[in-house]
């Protein structure tokens, strides 16, 4: 099993040796390795069983570090970096030769982010290389939002997990790029589209269900528990499955179902707060996936602000 701790020097040392470390960020926990070391990058793909066509995000500690790995900074994206870095925003930038093709799956852009978690930024500023870090889960499964989630699934494959507590955003970063002057959102995430548009003007959101090779993270089925997820009107679903006598779990936004045992229901935010719901989404899905239920009944949240990204994850979790 991996050691769990808060020792930045130890994490740095392991990373310098080319090893992989579980790393907290404000979005989800990452499986981090030296992005400039092809062996470490290969190990990331193998450890996650991630297909090699699905490129990685590199994490840097400063704008200056970001600049050292790109050819130029498109001005539309610079404005976004100034507004939202450090934070849950990933920018697709024209890569230079320092970034191995393995990292970007051969694309000529590299996904870059300055994470907002203080421990992680300290780690990054301590290193003279960027960290490639996809979410620290087997490919296709729910992303981890606490150190124990990483331990559960990858603990036997990595030496150390840096413990930064529960993720404060709980959803992956919003991925944004620009093509011919048009700003494009490739993945909905921790920064709502409305906030992006306040800075960058109207954006294009790439179709949600594509398996477009340009953004393989947009695979239709993703972020999925092993237990099937059924999305719909919760009252209807709950009464239907109760009548059938099935052992189901419930993932609700703010509604309580008094007749369902606590162990089989997760209420994302009793007060109806979208930020709180985002923080609880993945841990709630994990909890229900471990409960002895044959199906998870869930509902979409209000389609606004973070609700859009939450609904995106719920739909992918429900997709087969
Ligand atoms: P994860 O690290 O698991 O959150 O996934 C990162 C996602 O970023 C991937 O699934 C890709 O879709 C996306 N990504 C990374 N680099 C690029 C790139 N150069 N162009 C388009 N999408 C990218
Ligand atoms: Mg992932």
Which pairs with CB-CB distance under 8 Å and at least 24 residues apart come from 306-309? 306/171, 306/190, 306/192, 306/274, 306/275, 306/277, 306/278, 307/274, 307/277, 308/188, 308/192, 308/193, 309/171, 309/174, 309/188, 309/189, 309/190, 309/192, 309/278
Decide if 216 is inside a domain: no
Residues 114 and 180 in one domain: yes
Decide if 147 is inside a domain: yes
160 lines ligand 1 (CB under 6 A): no
The number of distinct structural domains making up the chain is 2
Decide if 128 is inside a domain: yes
104 lines ligand 1 (CB under 6 A): yes
Residues 136 and 44 in one domain: yes
Residues 241 and 197 in one domain: no
pLDDT at res. 224: 82
Residues 17 and 64 in one domain: yes
Q: Which of 169, 189, 205 is the last residue of a domain?
A: 205
254 CA → ligand 2 middle, Å: 26
- What DSSP state is assigned to residue 293? -
13 CA → ligand 2 middle, Å: 25
79 lines ligand 1 (CB under 6 A): no
Q: Which residues of the chain have pLDDT under 50?
A: 208-211, 213, 216
pLDDT at res. 121: 96
Residues 81 and 163 in one domain: yes
pLDDT at res. 270: 97
Decide if 304 is inside a domain: yes
Residues 89 and 158 in one domain: yes
Pocket test for ligand 1, best of 27, 30, 55, 115 (most atoms within 8 A of CB): 55
Residues 191 and 277 in one domain: no
pLDDT at res. 211: 42
Domain harbouring 258, CATH code: 3.40.50.11030
Decide if 213 is inside a domain: no
Residues 294 and 172 in one domain: no
pLDDT at res. 217: 52
Residue showing tokens 């290193």: 127
Residues 58 and 161 in one domain: yes
Residues 171 and 243 in one domain: no
User: CA-CA distance, 73 to 66, in Å (whole number)?
Assistant: 9
Q: What is the DSSP string of 83-111?
A: HH-SSSEEEEEEB-TTS-HHHHTT-SEEE
Q: Which range of residues forms the domain containing residue 200?
A: 3-205
186 lines ligand 1 (CB under 6 A): yes
Residues 43 and 189 in one domain: yes
Beta strands at 265-267 and 248-252: parallel, antiparallel or unpaired: parallel
pLDDT at res. 218: 55
Residues 173 and 240 in one domain: no
Domain harbouring 70, CATH code: 3.90.870.10
pLDDT at res. 209: 40
143 lines ligand 1 (CB under 6 A): no
87 CA → ligand 2 middle, Å: 17
Decide if 58 is inside a domain: yes
């Amino acid at each position: 099993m991996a050691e769990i701790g808060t020792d930045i020097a130890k994490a740095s040392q392991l990373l310098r040796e080319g090893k992989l470390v579980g790393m907290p960020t404000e979005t989800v926990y990452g499986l981090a390795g030296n992005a400039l070391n092809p062996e470490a990058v290969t190990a990331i793909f193998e450890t996650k069983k991630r297909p090699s066509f699905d490129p990685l995000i590199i994490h840097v500690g400063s704008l200056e570090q970001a600049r050292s790995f790109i050819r130029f900074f498109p001005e539309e994206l610079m404005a976004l970096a100034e507004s939202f870095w450090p934070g849950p925003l990933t920018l697709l930038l024209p890569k230079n030769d320092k970034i191995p093709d393995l990292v970007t799956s051969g694309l000529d852009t590299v996904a870059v982010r300055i994470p907002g978690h203080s421990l992680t930024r300290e780690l990054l500023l301590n290193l003279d290389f960027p960290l490639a870090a996809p979410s620290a889960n087997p490919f296709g499964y729910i992303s981890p939002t606490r150190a124990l989630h990483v331990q559960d699934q990858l603990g036997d494959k990595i030496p150390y997990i840096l413990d930064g507590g529960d993720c404060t955003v709980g959803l992956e970063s919003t991925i944004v790029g620009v093509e011919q002057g048009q700003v494009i959102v490739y993945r909905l995430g921790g920064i709502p589209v409305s906030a992006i548009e306040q800075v960058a003007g109207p954006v294009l959101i790439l179709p949600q269900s594509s398996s477009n090779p340009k953004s393989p993270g947009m695979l239709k089925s993703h972020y999925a528990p092993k237990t099937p997820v059924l999305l719909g009107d919760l009252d209807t679903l709950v009464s239907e499955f109760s009548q059938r006598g099935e052992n189901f779990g419930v993932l609700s936004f703010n509604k309580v179902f008094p007749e369902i045992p606590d162990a089989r229901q997760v209420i994302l935010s009793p007060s109806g707060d979208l930020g709180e719901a985002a923080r609880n989404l993945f841990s709630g899905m994990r909890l229900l996936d471990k409960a002895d239920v044959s199906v998870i009944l869930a509902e979409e949240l209000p389609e606004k602000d973070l609700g859009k990204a939450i609904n995106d994850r719920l739909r992918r979790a429900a997709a087969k």
